[in-house]
Structure 1
Amino acid sequence: MRACVRLGRGCVPVRAGLLLVLIPPLLVALQLALVGPWLPRAQRAAREGAEEREGAVAFSVISIEPERSSRLRGAQGRRPDSKEEEEEEEEEGVERSDGARAYEDENEITSRQVGPRAFEVQPWASGEPSFKAELSRIITYITRPHVNCSKVLCPGQVQASRGPAASLPWLLCAEDWLLPAAATLCVAYSFSMDGGDADFLKTVSGLGCEIHRFDPSNSNASGGHLGNSLVSNHGERGVVTQHKMWLEWRAPKKRKHRTRGDLGSVSQTLADIMAALGHHTVHFLYANLLSAEWRVFQNWIELGTLEHIHHLVAMVHLQWAGFEVGGTDEEVVRYWFSVLWGLQESGLKLVHNSAGDGHRVLKQTVENAHSSYTLSWVNTRH
């Protein structure tokens, strides 16, 4: 007797009945395989969501981009992507490639020419901490010029003379290849609050330089307020422009780099001041920073600013560690020497030294050392 499956009034064999039961699911599966990719996105999303609820695992991919560095420390040749950077380019006089012109003046500092570098602390003078050994090394370094100049410019003079005089407070090396060409407008900066830069200003004025003097206590500075307005005096040779501003050595983590005009603060790094005034090069720089010179010099080394300074006259103070400089006495003196070594590695060579009053070094009386020195350097890489 043959088994059958009753359908309505008829009877279908079991094998045929199984086929009738399986065919509809197979047709549905075939239809999904052929038509599924063409289903609306919402339907597919709903189906995928149902699959996830049934145990499927979903992944999210997060893209992390490094924060853009300041333009002064930026990568070479980078094109600005943000609207803010485009605005800065326009303020600098730089047109993008579709503008068919790129403005680049000889006295325009750019991010391609200044970059970050490491500041290196030099090894101990005697292989181990020793105040005596460290002091001996730095005093020897300070009192032995690295370059002999046959012609020099003395304080207050504009005509070169032969040979340096030991009694001079400072001097400028006047070798022809170290001075700006006659057709070049030289630029001079002075940072002083005690009026000790009078002879320096007289000398660079006689050379016909564009001169900027910075003094945060000067009530006659440009701008008439906190003095943070940097106005250039292009074309006015020998004229001294006053600025109520001082040098900063702490670079903010996030800073909108400005190129011209109001910097918004009474303290700025030298690199930002140069950029705001539109100067790529400072031919002559005088600085008496009242013990802030060590951290300021370190900032110049790290930013590469020293590559754009041709002559530097600066006073260094040894009676105390200096602003934001700490450690044991031997550590402080080793740091000082490391800063001076960094100046040399940046191209500056010592041409003259003049000892100041007193014999106190870090609150200790040292007969063969002085509390301050005025040092004159020249950049031999130009």
Structure 2
Amino acid sequence: MRSCARRCGRGSLPLSGILLLLIPPFLLALQLLVVGPRLPRDTRTGVEEEVAFSVISIEQDRNSRQRGSPSRRPGLEEEEQEEEEEQVEVEDGERRELARAYEDENEMHSRQMGPRTLEVQPWAADEPSFTAELDRIITYITRPQLNCSRVLSPGQTRASLPPADSPCWLLCAEDWLLPAADRPCVAYSFSMDGLDADFLKTVSGLGCEVHSFDPSSSSASGGHLGNSLASNHGDGGVVRRHKMWLEWRAPRKRRKKTRGGLGSVSQTLADIMASLGHHTVHFLYADLLSAEWRVFQNWIESGTLQSVHHLVAQVHLQWAGFEVGGTNEEVLHYWFSVLQGLQASGLKLVHSSAGEGHSVLKQTVAKGHSSYILSWANTG
């Protein structure tokens, strides 16, 4: 007994030991009394219940409305709900349609190595000068840069020697500049005055797939809507007409309520080519009624010119042109920069034909004309 008492101490615990043993149960009971009422009911009762979640969306409002978030005001009428869902569906269709168009356009642009911005050229003289700028432009647009031993004249489908007289335009018919006989040929014409008849006759005679664009046209071929785009692959020589025109501005969001068609009478050349499934336009005629300068700039900056092999275009010098501003000297300076951008994109001047009148920016000049028809070939 004595040895047992020595190992274990006294037979009963002291008061301090008893208090130490009682403190942990007391604290646990106190914690249960304070925290217990705040526990979820299923924790206290053992009954399983669903847990409610709040989902916070970081997407745009349209997507949040699709997912049923409370962004729609209470009491919205059923008719308004259907209209909103229809608008969402239309916008989704537009997004997919534009994505496909831009995908095709990017695929085309990825193979192009031309400049992407218009490079502003130095002034012709030490300071802005109307005479110096005009002389430089007239010299540039009246001196061919590429001599062709064989040409296609207006309305002719057989290559021949350059004619003695000066026609309004010429196509360089060197073998290395013409499409191969076993390859498809594509031609576009943008004209509102019907002066492209000889061009259409020439490219149709070559067996090209031909598309004529005129927003004032009262009819479009193929039974499609006037501003729809439909190709005529495998139907060479037939002119497909479209009630559509060229756009030079950045694409804007286009809203439409009906499916089918692009929904706009104005498209960039890259958009038109992508919609028709064309990566190359072998022959292009453009009489754009003073919009040519901005359109040319768009072609230069987008790289679209890399896909155009022959270009016949009328340039107008009577006034600055659509969305072109500044002093007369600045306008001439801009025009020359655009012409240099065409050359940097691979175009070389083949032929120049002067129009009537001697008015340049509303000033009468002796050495220049009011308009010119210029023919280029892409040697790039």
TM-score, normalised by the number of residues in structure 2: 0.72
2:326 — aligned with what? 327
**SS state of the match for residue 162, structure 1?**
coil
User: Would the aligned equivalents of 1:204 and 1:238 in 2 still touch at CA under 8 Å?
Assistant: yes
Q: CA deviation at 1:221?
A: 1.7
1:361 — aligned with what? 360
User: Would the aligned equivalents of 1:318 and 1:360 in 2 still touch at CA under 8 Å?
Assistant: yes
Q: CA deviation at 1:207?
A: 0.5
Verify: 1:212 aligned to 2:211, yes or no: yes
1:140 — aligned with what? 139
Change in 2 beyond 3 A, CA 1:261/1:83? closer
Question: Taking every aligned residue pair, what percent have the same amino acid on both sides?
Answer: 73
2:109 — aligned with what? 114
User: Would the aligned equivalents of 1:149 and 1:164 in 2 still touch at CA under 8 Å?
Assistant: no
User: Would the aligned equivalents of 2:105 and 2:271 in 1 still touch at CA under 8 Å?
Assistant: no
2:182 — aligned with what? 183
Separation in structure 2 between the aligned mates of residue 151 and residue 217 of structure 1, nearest angstrom: 35
User: Would the aligned equivalents of 1:261 and 1:277 in 2 still touch at CA under 8 Å?
Assistant: no
User: Would the aligned equivalents of 2:284 and 2:308 in 1 still touch at CA under 8 Å?
Assistant: yes
2:53 — aligned with what? none
Separation in structure 2 between the aligned mates of residue 348 and residue 277 of structure 1, nearest angstrom: 24
Verify: 1:288 aligned to 2:283, yes or no: no
**SS state of the match for residue 221, structure 2?**
coil
Per-residue CA deviations over 1:175-209 (Å, capped at 9, x if unaligned) read: 00000000011011111111111111111111011
For residue 206 of structure 1, what is the amino acid of its counterpart? Answer: G
For residue 208 of structure 2, what is the amino acid of its counterpart? Answer: C
Separation in structure 2 between the aligned mates of residue 317 and residue 119 of structure 1, nearest angstrom: 20
Residues matched between the structures, number: 310
1:162 — aligned with what? 161
Separation in structure 2 between the aligned mates of residue 329 and residue 368 of structure 1, nearest angstrom: 17
Q: CA deviation at 1:310?
A: 0.4
Change in 2 beyond 3 A, CA 1:226/1:216? farther
Separation in structure 1 between the aligned mates of residue 140 and residue 224 of structure 2, nearest angstrom: 42
Separation in structure 1 between the aligned mates of residue 262 and residue 378 of structure 2, nearest angstrom: 28
Separation in structure 1 between the aligned mates of residue 179 and residue 325 of structure 2, nearest angstrom: 39
Separation in structure 1 between the aligned mates of residue 210 and residue 274 of structure 2, nearest angstrom: 15
Q: CA deviation at 1:63?
A: 11
Change in 2 beyond 3 A, CA 1:129/1:275? same
Unaligned runs of 5+ in 1: 1-9, 28-38, 44-61, 65-81, 93-107
2:377 — aligned with what? 378
Change in 2 beyond 3 A, CA 1:133/1:231? same
Task: Kindly name which structure, 1 or 2, has the bigger radius of gyration based on alpha carbons.
Answer: 2
Change in 2 beyond 3 A, CA 1:189/1:23? same
Q: CA deviation at 1:314?
A: 0.3
1:174 — aligned with what? 173
Q: C-alpha root-mean-square deviation of aligned residues, in Å?
A: 3.7
1:202 — aligned with what? 201
Separation in structure 2 between the aligned mates of residue 277 and residue 356 of structure 1, nearest angstrom: 33
Separation in structure 2 between the aligned mates of residue 358 and residue 322 of structure 1, nearest angstrom: 17
Separation in structure 2 between the aligned mates of residue 352 and residue 180 of structure 1, nearest angstrom: 20
Separation in structure 2 between the aligned mates of residue 25 and residue 150 of structure 1, nearest angstrom: 111
Per-residue CA deviations over 1:73-104 (Å, capped at 9, x if unaligned) read: xxxxxxxxx97699549978xxxxxxxxxxxx
Change in 2 beyond 3 A, CA 1:85/1:162? same
TM-score, normalised by the number of residues in structure 1: 0.71
Change in 2 beyond 3 A, CA 1:339/1:91? closer
For residue 233 of structure 2, what is the amino acid of its counterpart? Answer: H
User: Would the aligned equivalents of 1:151 and 1:162 in 2 still touch at CA under 8 Å?
Assistant: yes
User: Would the aligned equivalents of 1:211 and 1:241 in 2 still touch at CA under 8 Å?
Assistant: yes
Per-residue CA deviations over 1:202-240 (Å, capped at 9, x if unaligned) read: 111110111111111111223768611111111111111
Unaligned runs of 5+ in 2: 1-12, 29-38, 44-57, 61-90
Separation in structure 2 between the aligned mates of residue 91 and residue 291 of structure 1, nearest angstrom: 31
